[in-house]
Chains A and B, each alone.
Chain A
């Protein structure tokens, strides 16, 4: 039987964090030793515009419970990338809707290098959500 800790770990949250803003932002949270749920897995990305719609859907199919795209927002160093990515996420939401996936499982937000409170808040909210919803029931 799984321990409560192990059970909690089933609800994995993937965080796509931009290397110039959100990833150093997550490091900044670490520097203050502020604890947050451990079911969060941060991937350092140059710009989340790299990921096609299928990447997000496949993540849910593989069992990822929630995805937070932590971007640089409008202050993205790659001119036009944020807009293109935000547009793509709209299509992902449409697909999620068709698949009856709760749209709140995918969240786009902007996190700066010192946005500690915002980072913790985003993680806390997504964790509450995935604990309520559980892993997505999709066939890989």
Chain B
């Protein structure tokens, strides 16, 4: 799977340029026919045509006919953003029997007619098309990179996201190995009781999943295991795994990897809202455990044998932290994000308590209530009906917990309540519950080993939150669940389903076709300095090899295409310009700049 070539990039002079009216979206501001007249005179342009909608069948047919007749061998379409129709036009080129990578796009709607007007828009559209044409002239047919792929997926993390991903992949007949570092499956679900907003028992859902898993012979589970190393590339990864109990080492060869490494609950620092200093200050996870184990049937909730007459629930602990107000962790980081699930979980717990123990009064102290999901707002309404008292604090006036002067209560909570015009109140309480947020489990070692990006919030970072939400830039590695962002169990299962479909679709054929936008070495120019190897960001993607040319041994750079990220870090450092990125070459950018500075005349 290596790429080395002595092909020289040659320029073509048969570029076809197709300019779209977009039903007036472009032509209301850009004089499309004037642009066409200018473009057809540009050197290297064989035909320049216009159409009301280039994406329509007649528009695509125009390109196909010109390609089939041999009038053109490169295509530029000037229309809307490439994210909308780049694939449409590549497919049209394919249907003409040509290589889809001889295509370049000029964005004259979102980046011209929708933001500029009159002659300015017409002139800019001309220059952008000239620039696209300059790039197109150096495009060459490319073939997708084909790699054999093992029909096997490894899921790292045995929480609800990992289990759901494993089940959904196994259903497609692909082998699955699930690796969990602890002794049991289920992750954070093991610590939950009744899930918001439906009220189902977390243990029932988990049991249903586990019952399903045993029915799949193609799922192998390893608990108490640590991953020591990950090597290889899409279709052919190798994981070095070691068991925690007896240090036994083994390998897993796999085609794709899904990161489902989950999250942990934020631990307040010593003294944060009295945590660690007063035994009556607990976190939400502890309250859920108490409710889960509680067998009392009186009208007042009892905790450690003591009746809880009044309790305070404080929201946003360890979430939505603000620089200068909240104390950073040892690493200097703050959790500036919303943990999303705590509001619903707090209200769910409050409703359970008020409905089962009406003698226990509850004060919810919040900054904002964010019951965003389906059915969650009903929890808030229900809590109001259940006479939960809501008080709102601002971030710069956090509630304070101190011993109570009243003999019947161990603590009091002082709050400046913005719902009552910042009235200061002391609430005597028997119990304080902190809604601690979600933090990603620390997988920095694994992420560094696999070159996976981590966001500023410390969660694993997808390629794009909307366009490619469960993929990493490392092809064949996906992510699901709360390792990516705070999610509830339902959302984690949604992400797991998406990751499973992506992994299954990738592996189902037994081979993978990768985008050909990878580095390519010009073997004649390469002097074997190795600067590119040093600059390469992906271990193993570039190496220096010895090769014999005319009886002499030379060092030459060699690309392993399946590992190459196509970022171009190598191209920037080669003194001979002997390495470049197929389809996104430095030389093409230089030509584009020439076209821009000359207003299209240098094309």
Name A's B-contacting residues (CB within 8 A): 5, 9, 12, 14, 20, 24, 26-27, 29-31, 33-36, 38, 41-47, 49-52, 55, 58-59, 62-64, 74-81, 84, 88, 113
Contact = CB atoms under 8 A, between A and B. Distances in A.
A101 to B, nearest CB: 16
B597 A62 contact: yes
B77 to A, nearest CB: 14
Contacts, number: 140
A46 B517 contact: yes
Contacts of A42: 107, 111
A75 B569 contact: no
Interface string B534-545: 010100000000
Given A31-B110, A52-B573, A80-B537, A47 B567 contact: yes
B567 A46 contact: yes
B592 A52 contact: no
Interface in B122-146: 123-124, 127-128, 131
Contacts of A29: 110, 115
Contact of B121 (A38, A51, A80): A38
A31 to B, nearest CB: 6
A20 B465 CA distance: 10
B568 A50 contact: yes
A50 B592 CA distance: 15
12 contacts: A24-B81, A24-B467, A27-B107, A30-B81, A30-B110, A41-B124, A47-B569, A50-B567, A50-B572, A74-B455, A78-B569, A84-B537
B596 interface: yes
Contacts of A62: 593-594, 597
Nearest to B599: A9
Contacts of A49: 537, 567-569, 572
Contacts of B597: 12, 62-64
Nearest to A112: B465
A5 B120 contact: yes
A33 B110 CA distance: 8
A22 B81 CA distance: 13
Nearest to B471: A77
Contact of A113 (B110, B461, B464, B565): B464
Given A58-B593, A75-B456, A80-B569, 8 more contacts: A30-B114, A38-B115, A46-B568, A47-B568, A52-B586, A75-B461, A79-B452, A113-B465
B461 A81 contact: no
A46 B589 CA distance: 12
Given A9-B123, A49-B569, A20 B114 contact: no
B268 interface: no
Nearest to B462: A77
Nearest to B104: A44
Nearest to B585: A50
A52 B123 CA distance: 30
Q: Which 4 A-B pairs have the closest CB atoms?
A: A50-B568, A30-B110, A77-B473, A27-B110
| Overall SS of chain A's interface | mixed
Contacts of A55: 586, 589-590
B110 A88 contact: no
Given A27-B107, A30-B111, A78 B83 contact: no
B447 to A, nearest CB: 8
B127 A80 contact: no
Contacts of B586: 50-52, 55
Nearest to B472: A77
Interface string B92-129: 00000000000000010111001111011101100110
Interface of B: 81-83, 107, 109-111, 114-117, 119-121, 123-124, 127-128, 131, 451-453, 455-456, 461, 463-467, 472-473, 517, 535, 537, 565-569, 571-573, 581, 584, 586, 589-590, 592-594, 596-597, 599
A36 B537 CA distance: 36
Contact of A43 (B110, B116, B565, B589): B589
Nearest to A42: B111
Contacts of B567: 46-47, 49-50, 78, 81
B569 A50 contact: yes
Contacts of B592: 43
Nearest to B537: A80
Contacts of A12: 596-597
Contacts of A80: 451, 537, 569
Contacts of A78: 453, 473, 537, 565, 567, 569
B566 A46 contact: yes
Nearest to B448: A79
Contacts of A75: 453, 455-456, 461
Contacts of B120: 5, 9, 38
Most buried by B among A42, A45, A58, A78: A78
Contacts of A64: 593, 596-597
B124 A38 contact: yes
Contacts of B456: 74-75
A91 to B, nearest CB: 11
A31 B115 CA distance: 9
Contact of A5 (B110, B119, B461): B119
B411 to A, nearest CB: 41
Most buried by B among A24, A77, A88: A77
B584 A33 contact: no
Nearest to B602: A62
Nearest to A123: B115
A51 B463 contact: no
Contacts of B111: 26-27, 30, 42
A2 B597 CA distance: 16
A47 B517 CA distance: 12
Given A30-B110, A30-B114, A51 B596 contact: no
Contacts of A43: 131, 589, 592-593
B130 to A, nearest CB: 11
Most buried by A among B109, B127, B472, B589: B589
Given A64-B593, A77-B463, A30 B123 contact: no
Nearest to A20: B464
A64 B81 CA distance: 24
A55 B83 CA distance: 27
A99 B455 CA distance: 37
A77 to B, nearest CB: 4
A84 B114 contact: no
B532 to A, nearest CB: 12
A76 B537 CA distance: 12
Contacts of A24: 81, 83, 467
